[in-house]
Amino acid sequence: MTNTSPTPKFSRLPDHLAIVPDGNGRWAEQRGLSRLDGHQAGAENMYRMINYLNEYPIKYVTLYGFSTENWTRPKEEVSGLFQLLENFINKCISEFCEKSIRLRHLGRLNDLPSSLQLAINSSVELTRNNTRMTLNLAFNYGGRAEIIDAVRRLVAKDIKPQNIDEELFNSYLYTAGLPDVDLLIRTGDELRLSNFLIWQTAYSEYHFTKVLWPDFSKKDIDKALLSYSRRKRRFGGL
């Protein structure tokens, strides 16, 4: 894959793009397939989309893979999702190094299977000096859990309440060191955040689409990016 300059139609691109890739299950149901087949198709599309996004000067991409609420799904589906992520990481790690993509994990790592923890930790370490794009995988992630964990760390550090401001609080989140989300895309015709980056999306632009994630294409990403480039961001000002 060769990196190219963005097409001139984009007057502005987000520095930090977040995606809720929804619709794998419904995509599979429409085709008489299992939910795990849908998740497999979603993982394959995730690979395609990461490669495509890496052609643009977008520095940070965050993908929602597994929420803290997803543990309530059938055990077979949960185990399958864990294996899919492990396979995805093992498949892509050499290419991530080649393309200078840095991998970060957002979420509660210790609750995941040991083999998946090992794959995540190894890939994070191997790519830590890569600079082209940072890919954040939100896996066993919840926005409320992230805030609670940040508060717990602040309390453990015995930091005085009067010394806590937004900048300090940011440094205790999973996303420490990352800019806030500029654009959030959600596929699958759902109009909610689902507990995803609720602190970091306070002033994000949103793009919702009916397209199910396995069918989400370059054309659909370009549509979202074009919509973003035409918006005027005021951040509460005039």
Residue 189 counted as domain residue: yes
CA distance 17 to 63: 9
Name which of 63, 66, 92, 96 is nearest 80 in CA terms.
66
Determine the residue type at 29. E
22 noted as active-site residue? yes
CATH number of the CATH domain containing 112 = 3.40.1180.10
90 noted as active-site residue? no
Residue 163 counted as domain residue: no
Quote the mean pLDDT of the chain. Answer: 94
Q: How confident is the model at residue 232 (pLDDT cuts 50, 70, 90)?
A: confident
What six digits make up the tokens of 112? 């995941």
| Distance spanning both ends of the chain, measured CA to CA | 42
Residue 51 counted as domain residue: yes
How many distinct structural domains can be found in the chain? Answer: 1
> Beta strand 101-106 with 60-67: parallel, antiparallel or unpaired?
unpaired
Q: How many other CB atoms are there within 10 angstroms of residue 238's CB atom?
A: 3
Residue 166 counted as domain residue: no
Residue 169 counted as domain residue: no
Q: Which residues contact 82 (CB under 8 A, 6 or more apart)?
A: 66, 112, 113, 116
State pTM to two decimals.
Answer: 0.93
For residue 148, give the 3-state DSSP assignment: helix
Residue 206 counted as domain residue: yes
DSSP collapsed to 3 states, 176-227: CCCCCCCEEEECCCCCCCCCCCCCCCCCCEEEECCCCHHHCCHHHHHHHHHH
pLDDT in tens, 132-152: 999 999 999 999 999 999 999
**9-18, 31-40, 192-201: the lowest-pLDDT one:** 9-18
Res 172 pLDDT > 70: yes
Domain extent, residue 61, equals 16-142+180-229
Residue 10 counted as domain residue: no
Name which of 17, 66, 61 is nearest 39 in CA terms.
66
Calculate what percentage of the chain has a pLDDT beyond 90.
Answer: 92
Res 3 pLDDT > 70: no
Res 6 pLDDT > 80: no
CA distance 213 to 217: 9
Give me the catalytic one of 3, 15, 51, 70. Answer: 70
Give me the catalytic one of 22, 37, 180, 182. Answer: 22
- pLDDT for 1: 46
Q: How confident is the model at residue 2 (pLDDT cuts 50, 70, 90)?
A: very low
pLDDT in tens, 28-78: 999 999 999 999 999 999 999 999 999 999 999 999 999 999 999 999 999
CA distance 52 to 86: 21
Residue 201 counted as domain residue: yes
CA distance 44 to 78: 18
Q: Which residues contact 166 (CB under 8 A, 6 or more apart)?
A: none
